[in-house]
Amino acid sequence: MNNQLENNLTEKIIKDETNDRWFTGSEIRSDVEIVRDELTKLHIGLGDTVLVCLPNSAAYPAITQAIWEVGANMHPIAATTPKKELQAELNDHDYVASIVKDDLVDAVIDEHLVSVSNLSLQTAPELKLIRDRHIIGHDAQIPNEDDLALIMNTSGTTGKPKRVGLTHKILVNAVKHDIKSHKMTPSDTTLLVMPMFHINAQAVSILSTRLSGGKLVIANKFSASKFWDQVRNNQVTWVSVVPTIVNILLINKKANESYSDDIKLRFVRSSSFALPMDKLTAFQTRFHTQILEGYGMTETASQCTINPFDAPKVGSAGKPFETDVRIMVDGKIADEPNQIGEIVVRGDHVISSYMDPHPESFEDGWLLTGDLGYFDEDGYLFVKDRKKDIINHGGEKVAPAQVENSLSQLDFVNEVSVVGTPDDLYGEAVTAVVITSDHQDEDLKRQRILEHAKETLAGYEQPTRVIFVNDYPRNATGKVIRLKLREQVISTLVGKGA
């Protein structure tokens, strides 16, 4: 991927929308060298892990490239990660260094013995590289294809994220498949609106664009009111989003007012959960572009299926692309169509193990996704539900146990169960179902819960609905029956017209 920089030294290849500035290959290359030289000086090299906690910016690709050039690997996490959660992450794993903005320096240092370096980059002038002196580093060395490149978090049902380790080989294979399936060329420009700690941003948008030779426009975050101006002004040809963004663009008044027919998008790529047929059709009609829906996950470094340009099937996740995707029923691969079972995958871009032991997630070379679905007679995949309890809130994966552990800290909360309930905008709402020990006003208790969540949880983990009940449906041993609880909550919401 370094070739993209060397072959475009005078060309504008990456734009930072926040600063309204394009950067040439030479300018990005200069920032790469600054970070790389500092990493080398601090004895950070082959096999070392660098934690990156930053908002979206043009500095991200430069930092990633520098980390890879010394043979280290990068673990990006959300810029909104609460300080306590950040400190827990640093204490749980051996990060030789962290790269953050000024406001997180104290949280990273905590009680560690560190050195702090200033990274004065053209793409981001005020970043800090914090070296943990307790951890022995390694010499800088060019990595091979089987060395680790990225560590990504993916939520687990226990509330503790699974760590996915992606090698250079896995990433390159995944990105090559993305380029082929999306017909990317050097003439393409993509607008990145997804957070950079997601595989969607890292692989589908950044790496595929770099390998295909296209241009990259980086927004700090998605803005409905700015979206179509960003697309028009930068001659963007495609965008990768989640269904929540599609829904927002449809209903947002400023977005609709700023759209004009001179905008020429080749396609909008949407994944995470299926769009209802009326929303997909309405978007394509209103904004004169094609939506391509697909299915993928962090463990596959991107997509497994995608709808073909010339034969999309609304409601489906498309057909397998350079990936072996099957349905497993009662422990056996089902060959007949329309059999609902667990979606299992394997391929040259699919992990064979997690960084921490999770043998239950693999069987006979297959990655067990935990998602339920089926193939129709034409070979299109339809994703129906999840075996696991993870809540999909606008593309963010929320582990109920994580939220429950936080809310249980409140003295008036006897029990709390968190479930996902249908939401037109976000796919699923994070719904806290609470049993309390007092008779305070419910509005007051709800306010205290939401305030506590804001202090202790990342933005996407915070409950969007809080419901009070006297008890839960339970089995013979007293364990909460989540599926039945979810059904009861949905029934209550429907009755109230929520």
Specify if 360 maps to a domain. Answer: yes
Q: Looking at the structure, do residues 366 and 411 belong to the same domain, yes or no?
A: no
The CATH number that applies at residue 96 is: 3.40.50.980
The CATH number that applies at residue 453 is: 3.30.300.30
DSSP 3-state of 19: coil
DSSP, residue by residue, 277-315: HHHHHHHHHHHT-EEEEEEEEGGGTEEEEE--TTS--TT
Q: Looking at the structure, do residues 265 and 371 belong to the same domain, yes or no?
A: yes
**Domain tally, the chain:** 3
Q: Looking at the structure, do residues 362 and 395 belong to the same domain, yes or no?
A: no
Q: Looking at the structure, do residues 341 and 396 belong to the same domain, yes or no?
A: no
* Residue 358: other Cβ atoms inside 10 A: 13
* Residue 213: other Cβ atoms inside 10 A: 18
- The vertex-236 CA angle with 231 and 239, nearest 5°, equals 85
Q: Looking at the structure, do residues 85 and 102 belong to the same domain, yes or no?
A: yes
The CATH number that applies at residue 328 is: 3.40.50.12780
Per-residue pLDDT for the chain (498 aa), expressed as one digit of tens each? 565 666 678 899 999 999 999 999 999 999 999 999 999 999 999 999 999 999 999 999 999 999 999 999 999 999 988 898 899 999 999 999 999 999 999 999 998 899 999 999 999 988 999 999 999 999 999 999 999 999 998 854 444 678 999 999 999 999 999 999 999 999 999 999 999 999 999 999 999 999 999 999 999 999 999 999 999 999 999 999 988 899 899 989 999 999 999 998 999 999 876 777 888 999 999 999 999 999 999 999 989 999 999 999 988 999 999 999 999 998 899 989 999 889 999 999 999 999 998 899 999 999 999 888 899 999 999 987 666 677 888 888 787 877 887 898 888 888 899 999 998 888 899 999 999 877 778 899 999 999 999 998 988 999 999 999 999 988 655 678 888 898 999 988 876 665
Specify if 266 maps to a domain. Answer: yes
Specify if 18 maps to a domain. Answer: yes
Structural domain harbouring 354 = 170-386
Q: Which of 143, 162, 179 is at the close of a domain?
A: 143
Tokens of 173: 């294979």
pTM of this structure? 0.82
Q: Which ranges of 382-481 does DSSP label H, i.e. alpha helix?
A: 400-407, 442-456
